Structure 1
Amino acid sequence: MQPPLLKQHGGKRERAWQGHPFFSGGFRPFFLFASLFGIFAIALWLLELMGYDAINTRLAPVEWHKHEMLFGYTSAVIAGFLFTAVPNWTGRLPVVGYRLMAIFALWLAGRAAMLLGESVPYAVTATIEAAFLPVLGAVIAREIISGQNWRNIKVLVPVLGLGLTNIWFHIDVATGGTGAAPVRMGFTAILILLMLIGGRIVPSFTRNWLARQEPGKMPVPFNRFDAGVIAGSAVALLLWVVLEQPFLGPLFAILGILHIVRLWRWAGLRTLSNPLLLVLHIFYAFIPTGFLTLAVGMWFDLPQVNVAALHVFGIGAVGGMTIAVMVRASLGHTGRTLASSGILNLAMAMVGISMALRVTGAIWPEYDWAITGSALAWIVAFGLFAFKVGPWLLVPRAKRG
């Protein structure tokens, strides 16, 4: 493998990575391995549910499952997205080559550490695993601050918050807890990040496409209404982390309605002929759906509905938005046309089916087939993504004729 080559052009330094194309952009290793790990983690969880001793770690299987989907899978997608988006935001060179390899290796080490058993002290496991998100936050902070891109500094708050929450999870588990409050805090950080980034890319991509279509309704730009909805959501979710009381039900119901209004302002109905755009609107809709589901569960003290709400958030909003963003970013940054295909449409549809089945299994636990079906649908979704997109991530960017 050849070393990175630094060239001077017009007084500006340009980094041209001469090694394998897999490390020429952060989206390549992180998106591919996020999908592969998503398959692996859910397959292990399904085997555990079927009675096999598949998850033999220091954590209880359910704790491992929650942790690895929140802090393992999701953190990889966040890293891939930020390493791709931040250079566009700041005008700075992307993180590539050996630096990217080192950060990616740290994520891989965390996943391996979480599979270690009793023979390794949990302090060692936790230290290795918890290092990734603070390092990611520090690298992204350096890029944003060096580029004086103050507009996007707010993205760092949920990323660093997720890193601190991960540390909290390990401390809680190591001292005899179940990690329940840190898991809720993890959802909070990720949902706020989706509200911020989704609130930027969904209306922006929609506006860019609609500008080339027939005149009609256009997405409303980010304004005080959006800021207020996000701020109110952050407060409500933080209260949920520490209180989890029935009186929060009406508050979540109001926020769910406000997020529906926010989504309606983005002119999603005009994207029906563009699946790649439409899915962004659909999967973002699972944020207000999750709020409304949580409102019902808390207001009427229905624990099974609260569990359903977590899977609306986790599979529908997080899983859906991440696969939709990975598909779009991979198409664009590997030189493909920004148009979906039958395989990719099916992959994204399977995430929605996975969510619907898991919610069914949460509300009616006697339908254990629904939980199995949900896991299988998730595996199919990310298997299709890896099959279709994976080869693009391993080769140089396509040259358009």
Structure 2
Amino acid sequence: MAQDPKGGVCRKPLAKAAKSWDRKRSSTEGKRDVRTTSEQMRAWTGPAVLSYGFRPFFLAAGLWAAAAMVAWIAMLSGQDVLPTAFDPVSWHAHEFLFGYLGAVVAGFMLTAVPNWTGRLPLVGWPLAGLFALWLAGRLAVSISEVLPALVVAAADLSFAVLLALAMTREIVAGRNWRNLTILALLATFILANGLFHWEAARGGNAAGGFGLRLGLAAGLMMIAVIGGRIIPSFTRNWLVKRGDTVLPAPPMQAFDKLTLLVLLGALLAWVGWPLHVLTGGLLVAAGLLHLARLTRWSWQRTASEPLVWVLHLAYLFLPMGAVLQGLATLRPELVGTAPAQHVWMAGCIGLMTLAVMTRATLGHTGRALTAGSGTTAIYLLIVAAVLSRALAGVWPAWASMLHALSAVFWIAAFGGFSLLYGGLLLRPKPAA
């Protein structure tokens, strides 16, 4: 044991040894967690689709996005295809925002949170039970005409509430405090769904009510927060592999936080006072700030890899939608509210979720992170769907044809995703 100059025991070597041992123990425990997670997934001998959260929910999201659009077209043509108590527009809006997006959020969080916290993923029959609740919600809303409104709301909300509780437990247990923001947005999303059900039960225009706007605002903030982390990071990783020295600005700098605060204020104003002139000004300002934010992420250097540039293109729809929504408030004779809202819903949410689902599926099933021609095609189909829907508001004489084209493009995109990625989601990951 070393002596210090004053003749006492020197504590520094002991302190260094203790710190070294702590580092080794932490490293060992981290490795043990990873090993245990892998062992738990390998120990599952049931269907591969239940071996990880992204598998059932991404596949169901793709199938539901296409199937719900087919049902929506039938409703528009006057066919009574579903015994739902919701009016056709409200059913369509609800099932995209809370049905489809709810499934994507679940698949993303069930996959990302174990990575964030180092804790075990939900696997097997517990995962199957959560997925069954999502299916029960879709069924309850679709046949809500023959069920009490409270039963419908409970069936639909139970899935999201259970998901939020499970994710809260994991984040708190893993002390992953930075992602409490995502939990707060998920809680807001659940509240919005409850408001939507309440407005629909009262016989109001739920598709134009507080619930839809609040749910859409929560979804957009999720994209702004999570996209602000993953887009510059994924872009940087790809550029570094190519030997490029011009890299994106690091995520979540002071400017990014400013843009998020302005967007939050603008969206809250839009939820509460969608037609106020101040809301219009805030939305335009938020849109311009997020456009500037996007320019800091080296988007112009990503043209050769669709799996990267699609993230930038999807994010572009967020500021575009904000500016158009602001102009719809300030100059309604120039821009309609519905086309602006579809830029957000179909463009930003539709394309971003498709981009995340394709990338996560490739990465977690052991495939190369590059987009083939089929994947590129489904990205472009979503863009075509958004443009067709937006042009319908500009050229009213062609609106019926453009609406039909938009629906066809949408169905082809998500049907294509289901065909291209369904096998990857259903089959086990190849052995390394």
Structure-2-length-normalised TM-score: 0.88
Letter of the 2:228 partner, please give it.
G
Larger Rg belongs to:
2
- In structure 2, what is the equivalent of residue 148 of structure 1? 175
Letter of the 1:241 partner, please give it.
V
- In structure 1, what is the equivalent of residue 20 of structure 2? none
Instruction: Determine if contact 1:246/1:300 at 8 Å carries over to the other structure.
Output: no
Please state how far the C-alpha of 1:292 moved relative to its aligned partner.
1.1
Please state how far the C-alpha of 1:153 moved relative to its aligned partner.
1.5
**Alignment partner of 2:85 out of 58, 63, 79:** 58
Question: Partners of 1:119 and 1:182 in 2: how far apart?
Answer: 23
Answering whether residue 246 of structure 2 is matched by residue 217 of structure 1, we say yes
Instruction: Determine if contact 2:347/2:383 at 8 Å carries over to the other structure.
Output: yes
Aligned ranges for residues 83-162 of structure 1 at < 5 Å? Answer: 83-162=110-189
Identify the range of structure 1 (320-329 vs 180-189) with the bigger mean alpha-carbon deviation: 180-189
Letter of the 1:146 partner, please give it.
A
Aligned ranges for residues 1-400 of structure 1 at < 5 Å? Answer: 13-14=36-37, 15=40, 16-179=43-206, 180-221=209-250, 222-244=252-274, 245-302=276-333, 305-367=336-398, 368-400=400-432
Please state how far the C-alpha of 1:224 moved relative to its aligned partner.
1.5
Letter of the 2:282 partner, please give it.
L
Question: Partners of 1:223 and 1:336 in 2: how far apart?
Answer: 32
Question: Partners of 2:129 and 2:381 in 1: how far apart?
Answer: 33
- The total of aligned residue pairs comes to 392
Question: Partners of 2:352 and 2:139 in 1: how far apart?
Answer: 26
Please state how far the C-alpha of 1:365 moved relative to its aligned partner.
3.5
Please state how far the C-alpha of 1:42 moved relative to its aligned partner.
0.6
Question: Partners of 1:120 and 1:363 in 2: how far apart?
Answer: 40
Letter of the 1:47 partner, please give it.
A
5+ residue gaps, structure 1:
1-8
Identify the range of structure 1 (385-394 vs 109-118) with the bigger mean alpha-carbon deviation: 109-118
Give the fraction of aligned pairs with identical amino acids, expressed as a percent: 41
Please state how far the C-alpha of 1:301 moved relative to its aligned partner.
2.5
Change (3 A) 1:388 1:169: same
Question: Partners of 2:335 and 2:262 in 1: how far apart?
Answer: 25
Please state how far the C-alpha of 1:122 moved relative to its aligned partner.
1.6
Letter of the 1:65 partner, please give it.
H
Please state how far the C-alpha of 1:246 moved relative to its aligned partner.
2.8
Question: Partners of 2:365 and 2:233 in 1: how far apart?
Answer: 21
Please state how far the C-alpha of 1:265 moved relative to its aligned partner.
0.5
**TM-superposition CA deviations, 1:291-347 (whole Å, max 9, x none):** 111121110134962111110001100000000000000001111111111111101
Instruction: Determine if contact 2:327/2:334 at 8 Å carries over to the other structure.
Output: no
**TM-superposition CA deviations, 1:13-60 (whole Å, max 9, x none):** 542322211100011000000000001111111111223223431111
**TM-superposition CA deviations, 1:68-120 (whole Å, max 9, x none):** 10000001001101111111111111111111111100000000001114322
Change (3 A) 1:354 1:89: same
Identify the range of structure 1 (226-235 vs 28-37) with the bigger mean alpha-carbon deviation: 226-235
Letter of the 1:149 partner, please give it.
N
Letter of the 1:134 partner, please give it.
V
Please state how far the C-alpha of 1:364 moved relative to its aligned partner.
3.3
Letter of the 2:325 partner, please give it.
L
Please state how far the C-alpha of 1:150 moved relative to its aligned partner.
1.0
5+ residue gaps, structure 2:
1-30
Instruction: Determine if contact 2:324/2:335 at 8 Å carries over to the other structure.
Output: no
Secondary structure at the counterpart of residue 118 of structure 1:
helix
Question: Partners of 1:211 and 1:30 in 2: how far apart?
Answer: 32
Question: Partners of 2:149 and 2:210 in 1: how far apart?
Answer: 20
Q: Output the aligned Cα RMSD.
A: 1.6
- In structure 2, what is the equivalent of residue 4 of structure 1? none
Identify the range of structure 1 (317-326 vs 230-239) with the bigger mean alpha-carbon deviation: 230-239
Structure with higher helix content? 2
Letter of the 1:197 partner, please give it.
I
Question: Partners of 2:269 and 2:32 in 1: how far apart?
Answer: 53
Instruction: Determine if contact 1:144/1:152 at 8 Å carries over to the other structure.
Output: yes
- In structure 2, what is the equivalent of residue 5 of structure 1? none
- In structure 2, what is the equivalent of residue 6 of structure 1? none
Identify the range of structure 1 (36-45 vs 243-252) with the bigger mean alpha-carbon deviation: 243-252
Letter of the 1:48 partner, please give it.
M
Question: Partners of 1:188 and 1:130 in 2: how far apart?
Answer: 18
Instruction: Determine if contact 2:284/2:326 at 8 Å carries over to the other structure.
Output: yes
Please state how far the C-alpha of 1:214 moved relative to its aligned partner.
3.2
Letter of the 2:190 partner, please give it.
G
Change (3 A) 1:10 1:148: closer
Letter of the 2:188 partner, please give it.
G
Question: Partners of 1:220 and 1:248 in 2: how far apart?
Answer: 30
